[in-house]
Structure 1
C-alpha cells in the first residue's frame, strides 16, 4: 500500500461510518461525524489565534476525548503537537519548553494552575467552548493531511538516560496502526480501551488503530483504576504493560471478563514469564510484542492462537517494518514506521547508519519460524572481572520466583572486579523477605555462573520516589544502590 492509499483509507472510514462511535467514555459518545466537525471548528480557532505561526505546540493533559480533538485540529493546520508527560516535575517541563523554543501550550483544566507559565497557555475547555460557537460543517478534516507531514513529538521513556524527543510523521503512525490491524483484527463495532497514556506512543497508537476501521476508542473516567473499567461489556481489546497485567491477575473476579476479550496486547517492556504462563492458564487472549517509540509502537507481535512457547517470545515482524541484526546481535530496524529523527536545540538528528538502519540498542535473536527473543540492551551490559553481564538475564531468572513482583539489577563499582551486580527486589509480601531471598539465591546458583550472582539484594524503594514512566529508570536505581552501598562494603 502506498502513502496516498493509506491516507485515503482513513478518509473512507470517516465517510463510511459517520454515525459509529469514534470515542466514548462513561458519559459521552462521539461519532465520527461529530468528531470531524469538532476538529474543523477547533482548527479554525487555532488558526485565528496564530498557532500555525509557532508550528510546535506543547500539549499537556490526561487521557480524554478533548486531548484527541486537540491533536487532530493541530494536525489540520500543520502544527506539530509536542506531547508532554503529565508526571514530569515542573522543572522538567520548563527545560523541555525552553529547549524546543515552544511558545504556546494547550492543557487540561486540572493541570492549568500547576504548570509553569513560561509560554502562552490555553486550556482545552477554553478553546472547545470557543469552537462550539462556530457553526457549519466542513469537508473531512484530514483531506489535506500528508503522510509525510510531521505529526508528533513524543518522548522516549528515559529508562537509560534523559528522554529523547522523537519526531514522527503522520504516515509513521498510520502504517504502525495498519500493520498492527493486519495481525490483531479490529472491526467496526469493536472497542479498544485506552489504558495507556496518550503522551506515550503505545496510548496514541490505540486511537489510530480504531480510527482506521470505524471502531471505538474507550476512555475510562479520570481518577478511576483499570479494574473498574474492565467490566464494561463494550470493550473488546486491551493494551497492558507488565504492572497492569500483574494487578489484573490478582483479581479473580475479573478473569472471566478478560477471557471474553478479543485481544490483550502486552508491551512497554519485558513481561515476566510467570505472568505470561498465568495468563495462558487462565485462557486469556494475550499477545506479546516488542516495540519502541522510534518505531511508532510495535515492531514484532505474536500471532493469533500462538502457543505458550511462542508467547514467551516477542513475536514476528509486522507489515511495513524491517528487522536485521548486527554482528554483535544488536537489533536494527527500519521501514514505514521509523521516526524522522530526534529533535533538539540544534535541529533534527536522524541517528541511522549509512544503509538507513536504526540501531535500537536491544539485542536478541530470531528462530527458524521468525519469532524474536530479546536478550537485553547493549547500554545495560557491564563487565565484571573481564566477564560480560547482562542485567536482564539475571532479572528473568529472579522473576521465576513466585513471590517476586518486580526486580531490577544494576552495576555498582567494585575495587577488585570493576563492577558487581546488585539487585533491587519487590516482593508481593514483604514479610517473606528472608526466605524469599534465600530461595532466589539458591535458584540463581543452580542456573547462572558464579560471577553473575548479585552481591547484594536491596529492598524496593517507595513507589512515590521512583521517577515516573512506563519503564523503570535504571539510572535512578544505580544511583540509589551507590548511595546505599560503599565500594569498600562489597
Structure 2
C-alpha cells in the first residue's frame, strides 16, 4: 500500500514552506527568478488575497491561457488556496476553441499572456468578447460569455478592459491574513480544484474535474517512482496546461520539496542549456522532445551529467529513443508513465530500478493504491495475464467527472467505479502493462486485427527512420490498409520500396505498409501528442480514397 496524503494544495505548500523554507521551489534562470519554498508560499498567499479582493471565491472557475510563465505555477496554488477552480486552456487554441472552453466552463476570470506562435491572444479575446474594449476592469458584461467578468493580463502592458498581474498583487495588500485563513478553513481535499479540457479526437472537448486529493496523491506517487527528494531539480519543458506539466511536473516536485525549473516554451537548446545551468537531476518530455534534444547540432556542447531520472510519456515511447536517452543523456533511471487526464493522470509507471527491458517495452505497473485490470472489450470481464483487452483503472485517481456532461461521464466510469481508458493493453503476471493501441485506432485489414504500435516499433529499427506513425486508411477490398508516415534522420533519403523491402519477410505480409509517406513533421496537439486522425484525413484526400472510405461495413 502507498502512503496517502490528506492535504489541500494550500496546506501542502504551507507544509513544504515550513519543512524546506530555504530550498529552491521555482527557478527561471533566463529571467533571473529564484523563489525559495518560503518565498513561493508567501507570493501565492498574496495572489490568493488579490483574487479574493477581485471577488473570486470558492467554487468559481478561473481560466489561464498562457505558456509556462512563472504566474502559471503561482496561480495553480493561489487559486487552490481559496478553493477556486483553475481551468487550463490549451496554448494552441484559436477563437472558436477559446470561446467554447470559456463558455462551457462558466469561467468568471481569465488570465492570459500576449500570445503564442502565430496567435495573438489579446486580439483573439477582443474578437470573442468585443465588449471588453469598452468595459471597466472587473465590470465586463458579455453577451456570448455571460459569466466572464474579469480579465487579467500576465504582464506590464495596459490593455482596454483588463487588469494587470501587478494590480492583483496590489489588491491583495488590502486583504487581511485572517480573511484568507477563514476561507482556507472551509476547503476540503475532495473538492474540485482543476479543470482540464481533453483534446478529444472526436466530439467537443470535455472538462475533466480533478480534486486536491487527485492531483496531490498522483503527483506524490509519480515523484516516489522517480525517487524524488528535496535535492532533486526537475526541468519542465512540457506545457503546464496539460497534466504532464502541472501534475507530473509541478505536483511531483512540490510533494517532495524538489525544485521546479520550467522552460517557458519548448526549444531543444533551451532545455539543454537549462539542464546544464541549473544542474537538473530530472527531465520530462514527450518522445518528440527527446528526439529533438538528442539530434540538436549543439547536443555535445552541453554537460548533462547531472541528470539521473525523469519521465518520457504522452505518446508511445520508441525503444531506440529510450536507449539513447539512457546512454547519451545519463538518464539511467528514466521512467515511462502512462495515463490520461481522466485519471489525474498517471495510472502506471516504471520504477527506477526496473531492468531496461521493462522500461523500454512496457509502461510499468500500477501506482500505489491504484487498481488496474484488462477487460474483455465485449463482455467487460477481467482477462488473465497475456490476453489483450481494454485497460481500466479504479481508485483515488479517477476524476470527479466531466463538467456538466453526466452522460459522457457515465460512458467512461461504470457503476463499479472503473474508468474505461479506451486503450488496448496486455498485462503480464507481474502487473507490467504494454499498450497495444487505441480501441478506435486498431486497423482491421481483411479480418486481421493490426496494432500500429507493433509496426512502429519494428520500423524504428531501420537505420534511417527518426520517427514514424502507422495508421489505417480505407480500402474497398480489405476494409483498411496499413499506412506509415515516416520522418527520416537528417541527411538521409529513402524510397517507399526500400522501406517495404525492409519489412518483407520480417513481419507478416498483411502488416507491411501498403502506403508510405515521408514527412518533415506530424500534426500535433499542443501537448505534443501526434494526431493520427489528421494523418488519416490527409491521406484519404491525397490518395483519393474518399470513395473507399464511404463503403459501409458491418
TM-score, structure 2 normalization: 0.80
Partner deviation per Cα, 1:395-429 (whole Å, 9 max, x = no partner) = 22222212112222222222211221222111124
Give the CA deviation at 1:305: 3.0
Higher relative contact order (CA 8 A, sep 6+): 1
Aligned to 2:96: 91
Structure 2 residue corresponding to 1:174, chosen from 216, 219, 225: 216
Query: Is 2:394 the counterpart of 1:337?
Result: no
Structure 2 residue corresponding to 1:480, chosen from 538, 541, 545: 538
In structure 2, how many angstroms separate the alpha carbons of the residues matched to 1:488 and 1:168? 40
**Native 8 Å contact 1:59 1:83 kept in 2:** yes
Which runs of structure 2 are paired with 1:465-476 in the superposition (5 Å)? 468-476=526-534
In structure 2, how many angstroms separate the alpha carbons of the residues matched to 1:158 and 1:348? 12
Aligned to 2:293: 248
In structure 1, how many angstroms separate the alpha carbons of the residues matched to 2:505 and 2:83? 58
Structure 2, gaps ≥5 residues long = 130-147, 156-162, 378-388, 549-554
Task: Report SS of the residue matched to 2:276.
Answer: coil
Structure 1, gaps ≥5 residues long = none
Give the CA deviation at 1:374: 1.7
TM-score, structure 1 normalization: 0.90
Q: Label 1:84 to 1:402 Cα distance change in 2 as closer, same or farther (>3 A).
A: same
In structure 2, how many angstroms separate the alpha carbons of the residues matched to 1:102 and 1:443? 53
**Native 8 Å contact 2:239 2:527 kept in 1:** no
Query: Is 2:317 the counterpart of 1:317?
Result: no
Give the CA deviation at 1:135: 7.0
Query: Is 2:263 the counterpart of 1:220?
Result: yes
Q: Label 1:398 to 1:279 Cα distance change in 2 as closer, same or farther (>3 A).
A: same
Which runs of structure 2 are paired with 1:38-57 in the superposition (5 Å)? 38-52=43-57, 55-57=60-62
Query: Is 2:192 the counterpart of 1:150?
Result: yes
Aligned to 1:458: 517
Task: Report SS of the residue matched to 1:36.
Answer: helix
**Native 8 Å contact 1:248 1:254 kept in 2:** no
Give the CA deviation at 1:326: 0.4
Aligned to 1:239: 284
Partner deviation per Cα, 1:131-160 (whole Å, 9 max, x = no partner) = 443178847976654220101111234356
In structure 2, how many angstroms separate the alpha carbons of the residues matched to 1:77 and 1:298? 26
Aligned to 1:415: 476
**Native 8 Å contact 2:79 2:86 kept in 1:** yes
Aligned to 2:339: 291
Of 288-297 and 240-249, the range deviating more from structure 2: 288-297
Of 413-422 and 343-352, the range deviating more from structure 2: 343-352
Count of residue pairs the alignment pairs up:
487
**Native 8 Å contact 1:45 1:127 kept in 2:** no
Q: Label 1:259 to 1:163 Cα distance change in 2 as closer, same or farther (>3 A).
A: farther
In structure 2, how many angstroms separate the alpha carbons of the residues matched to 1:369 and 1:138? 51
In structure 2, how many angstroms separate the alpha carbons of the residues matched to 1:281 and 1:69? 35
In structure 2, how many angstroms separate the alpha carbons of the residues matched to 1:9 and 1:92? 33
Partner deviation per Cα, 1:325-380 (whole Å, 9 max, x = no partner) = 10242111111111111224679825211211111111222223332222111111
